[in-house]
Copies of this chain bind each other. A is one copy, B any other.
Amino acid sequence: MGINQKEILQEIKILDGGHICTPKGFFAGGLHCGLKRKKHDLGWLYSIVPANAAAVYTTNLIQAAPILVTRESIEVDKQIQGVIVNSGNANACTGEEGYRHALLMRHYFAKKMNMKEEHVAVSSTGIIGEQLPINKVLDGINMIGKVEESVANFEKAILTTDTTQKRACVQLEIDGKMITIGGAAKGSGMIHPNMATMLAFITTDANVEQEALQSALKTVVDETFNMITVDGDTSTNDMVLLLANGLADNTKLTPDSPDWLHFIQGLETVCQLLAKEIAKDGEGATKLIEAKVIGAAGEEDAKKLAKSVIGSNLVKSAVFGTDPNWGRIVCALGYSGVDFDTENISVFIGPYQLFANGLPVLFEESEVKTYMEENNEIQILVELHEGESSAIAWGCDLTYDYVKINASYRT
C-alpha cells in the first residue's frame, strides 16, 4: 500500500445531516406517550440484525434501574438489537418497583419488535425518585409503527432540558468498504428533582469484534464524553451505547487490523462532535469553552489540567463576562493536583498570549475582549514544558440562566 493510497484511506468524511440511521440497517423513531406534557418522550432504535454492543455507564454509585437492566442484557451475549428510551422520568432511586418497570419496558419492546429480551437495552432520563408511569410507557411501545417514524423524533424523545437535538455522522473506508458511524446524544438537563444526565447512542454498520468494540469505546469516551463538564455533577443514568451491526460487510475489525486506528478515529470524531454539542448546550450556556493543554509530562496530567480549567466556576463566569481573566486559569492549573514548573507556563485565549513563562504579558485587553464577545467557541491554550502530552477538554460558561434553571425549577 503506497503512501498516497494510505492517505486516502485515512480520510474521514463528516456527513452533514447524517445520523444514527445513516449506517445500514438501523431504524429509529420517537413519540409522545405522556410522561412529558407535550413533547416527545419515548424513543426507540432498532437494527435489522443483532449488533455487537459496547457500553460505558455512569460511575455514580447510585445507578438507575434501566442501567441495571441494560447491563444484564449486554452480559448475555454482548449483542443488542433494540434500544427503548424514555425521557421525563429517570426511574432512579425507585427500588424494586422501578427495576420491575425497566424489565417490563424491555419485555414489551422485545415482543413488539420480535427480538430476544436480552437483545434490548433500556434507558431513562428525567425526574428521579418518582415511579415511572409504566402504563403510559407500555401504551407508547404499543404505538410504535402506528405513528410517523423519523430519526428526528428519536433525537427529540431523548431530550430533557436540552435546547437542541444533537447528531453526528462520519463515513470512512475500511478494507475497501464504506462504513458509516452515526450518533445521537442528549446533554445535561436538570429535571425535577434531578441532575444532569448524559446519554449517547452510537451506531455503525462496521463489522467489529465485540471485545475490540468495547475497548475502542472506552478509549474514545475517555477522550471525548469524559472530557466535558457542565457542572461537575455525574448522573445516576449516564450511558454511552455503541452498536455495530456488521452490515457494511468489511472483514471483521480487531485491534490487529491495519484499519483499526482509522476506525477509532472515525468513532472519536463522532463522539467528539456530540460531546462538544453537549458542552455547548450546557444549561444556560452561551459559549463553548475549549481548553487545550500541551507539553504536559503525561496524558493523565494533561487531562487533569484541562479539566481543572474547564471545571472552574471562576473561569466559567469570566468567559460569560468576556473577561480575559488569565489569573483564574493559572489558579485552576495550580490547584489541579498536577506538579509542574510554574515558571514555564504560558496561557493563550484565542490567538492572544496573556501569560508567558510564569509572568503576565502586556496585552491589549479590548482586543481579547472583542475576540471573546465575537466567538461562541472560546479557545484556551495552556503550554507547559514538561513533556509531549496533550489533552483537550470542553465546557461552557456559567450564566445567570444556569442558576435560574437550577434554582427555580420547582418555584
- Give the contacting residue for A95; candidates B335, B358, B403; CB below 8 A: B358
- Is the Cβ of A403 less than 8 Å from the Cβ of B411? no
- Is the Cβ of B233 less than 8 Å from the Cβ of A328? yes
- Give the contacting residue for A409; candidates B61, B94, B323, B342; CB below 8 A: B323
- Is the Cβ of A60 less than 8 Å from the Cβ of B95? no
Interface of A is mostly: loop
- Give the contacting residue for A410; candidates B62, B321, B340; CB below 8 A: B321
- Is the Cβ of A321 less than 8 Å from the Cβ of B409? yes
- Is the Cβ of A331 less than 8 Å from the Cβ of B400? no
In the complex, whether A251 has a CB less than 8 A from a CB of chain B is: no
- Give the contacting residue for A403; candidates B94, B232, B320, B355; CB below 8 A: B320
A350-387 residues with Cβ-Cβ distance < 8 A to B are 355, 358-360, 365, 369
Q: Mark A311-325, 1 if CB is under 8 A from B, else 0.
A: 111100110111111
Q: Considering only CB atoms, which chain B residue lies closest to A328 in the complex?
A: B195
- Is the Cβ of B317 less than 8 Å from the Cβ of A235? no
Residues on B with beta carbons closer than 8 Å to the beta carbon of A322: 411
In the complex, whether A236 has a CB less than 8 A from a CB of chain B is: yes
| Complex alpha-carbon distance, A60 and B327, angstroms | 13
| Complex alpha-carbon distance, A32 and B335, angstroms | 32
| Complex alpha-carbon distance, A369 and B354, angstroms | 46
A178-227 residues with Cβ-Cβ distance < 8 A to B are 190, 192-196
- Is the Cβ of B332 less than 8 Å from the Cβ of A233? yes
Residues on B with beta carbons closer than 8 Å to the beta carbon of A312: 231-233
Q: Which of A59, A60, A92, A127 has the most CB of B within 10 A?
A: A60
A200 shortest CB reach to chain B, Å? 18
Residues on B with beta carbons closer than 8 Å to the beta carbon of A369: 410
- Give the contacting residue for A313; candidates B60, B232, B358; CB below 8 A: B232
A97 shortest CB reach to chain B, Å? 9
In the complex, whether A406 has a CB less than 8 A from a CB of chain B is: yes
- Is the Cβ of A407 less than 8 Å from the Cβ of B331? no
Residues on B with beta carbons closer than 8 Å to the beta carbon of A404: 400
A127 shortest CB reach to chain B, Å? 8
Q: Considering only CB atoms, which chain B residue lies closest to A238 in the complex?
A: B335
| Complex alpha-carbon distance, A321 and B192, angstroms | 12
- Give the contacting residue for A317; candidates B330, B359, B402; CB below 8 A: B402
- Is the Cβ of B323 less than 8 Å from the Cβ of A411? yes
In the complex, whether A326 has a CB less than 8 A from a CB of chain B is: yes
Given contact pairs A62-B331, A93-B330, A235-B331, A314 touches B190 in the complex (Cβ within 8 A): yes
- Is the Cβ of B406 less than 8 Å from the Cβ of A318? yes
Given contact pairs A314-B406, A407-B320, A410-B323, A335 touches B60 in the complex (Cβ within 8 A): yes
Residues on B with beta carbons closer than 8 Å to the beta carbon of A335: 59-61, 233-234
In the complex, whether A128 has a CB less than 8 A from a CB of chain B is: yes
Which 7 A-B pairs give the minimum distances between C-beta atoms? Answer: A321-B407, A317-B406, A62-B334, A129-B360, A60-B334, A193-B327, A234-B335
- What residues make up the interface of A, taking CB atoms closer than 8 Å to B? 59-62, 92-95, 127-130, 190, 192-196, 231-236, 311-314, 317-318, 320-328, 330-335, 338-340, 342, 355, 358-360, 365, 369, 398-400, 402-404, 406-411
Please list 20 pairs of residues, one from A and one from B, whose beta carbons are closer than 8 Å in the complex, sorted by A's number.
A61-B340, A93-B359, A95-B358, A129-B327, A193-B328, A194-B328, A195-B328, A232-B313, A234-B334, A236-B331, A314-B406, A317-B402, A317-B403, A317-B407, A318-B407, A321-B406, A321-B408, A323-B409, A365-B410, A398-B407
